[in-house]
């Protein structure tokens, strides 16, 4: 019996090592990853974009559940010369949650990437068109499941997302909708600027999807109890 138990335990370890996680599984169905702080191996994905400090990776095994993003940011400027947009690669890395300010939501990332292997090159990279792909458009009535149906009722306009880590409901809540697209390459058709660019060059926009609350100044008006609050925060 001891021998049999030892064999079963050994097989269990082997399966856990062979069965690599997908990017969707790493992101999970909440705001924070259940794998944060853990090392993962054999992550496979398509490089969709590169930045000055890392690149974005989309899973080649797509999860059609709208709650989980199939893409993730890989932080590591030293690896940029090893990959090109359109490459399908595998890599090993560590999962972490990063934010540059305590007022921001965490971003699930892969850090310290290593053992990068390019499996193929020149693959097509197609963005998700917001308003057309998967989810048709962002919700317009409610912002978060934690605000009690009144975003203005939150102390200092902050939520406890990073503490409560609620399940994502992107069909109901605007904040959840954008979290479900974390790390994705997207297209916003016919964007309308709602404000001037800030010091970082960021501009609030609304796209061609269904929206409400338009006012005669060309912006969107947010009213109490969450109605129209999401449009004013899209960027």
All domains of the chain in start order, with CATH: 2-120 (2.40.50.140), 126-235 (no CATH)
CA distances from 211 to 119, 138, 174, 215, 228 (A): 42, 8, 12, 12, 8
Q: State residue 223's pLDDT score.
A: 67
Q: State residue 115's pLDDT score.
A: 96
pLDDT at 150 exceeding the cut of 80: no
* pLDDT tens profile 168-202: 999 999 899 999 999 999 999 988 888 889 888 88
- Residue 11: pLDDT band (50, 70, 90) is very low
- Residue 149: pLDDT band (50, 70, 90) is confident
Q: Give SS3 for 181.
A: coil
Q: Give SS3 for 210.
A: coil
- Residue 64: pLDDT band (50, 70, 90) is confident
Residue 188: how many CB atoms within 10 A of its CB? 17
Mean predicted lDDT score pLDDT of the chain: 83
Cβ proximity of 95 and 113 under 8 Å: no
* pLDDT tens profile 191-200: 888 888 988 8
Select from 37, 41, 87, 36 the least CA-distant residue to 60. 87
* Residue 133, CA atoms < 13 Å, CB-side half-sphere: 15
Q: State residue 156's pLDDT score.
A: 63
The whole-model pTM stands at 0.82
Q: State residue 10's pLDDT score.
A: 38
Q: State residue 235's pLDDT score.
A: 35
Between 75 and 230, the more confident residue is 75
């Amino acid at each position: 019996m001891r021998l049999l138990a030892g064999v079963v335990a050994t097989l269990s370890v082997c399966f856990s090592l062979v069965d690599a996680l997908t990017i969707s599984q790493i992101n999970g169905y909440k705001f924070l990853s259940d794998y944060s702080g853990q090392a993962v191996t054999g992550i496979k994905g398509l490089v969709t974009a590169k930045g000055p400090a890392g690149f974005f990776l989309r899973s080649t095994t797509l999860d059609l559940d709208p709650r989980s993003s199939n893409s993730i940011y890989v932080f590591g400027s030293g690896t940029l010369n090893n990959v090109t947009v359109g490459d399908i690669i595998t890599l090993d890395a560590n999962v972490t949650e990063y934010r540059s300010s305590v007022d921001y939501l965490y971003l699930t990332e892969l850090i310290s990437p290593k053992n990068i292997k390019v499996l193929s090159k020149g693959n097509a990279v197609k963005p998700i068109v917001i308003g057309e792909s998967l989810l048709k458009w962002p919700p317009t009535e409610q912002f978060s499941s934690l605000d009690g149906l009144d975003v203005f009722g939150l102390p200092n306009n902050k939520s406890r997302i990073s503490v409560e880590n609620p399940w994502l409901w992107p069909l109901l809540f605007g904040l959840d909708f954008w979290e479900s697209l974390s790390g994705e390459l997207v297209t916003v058709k016919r964007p309308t600027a709602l404000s001037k660019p800030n010091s970082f060059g960021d501009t609030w926009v609304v796209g061609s999807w269904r929206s409400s609350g338009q006012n005669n100044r060309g912006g969107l008006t947010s009213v109490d109890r969450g109605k129209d609050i999401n449009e004013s925060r899209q960027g």
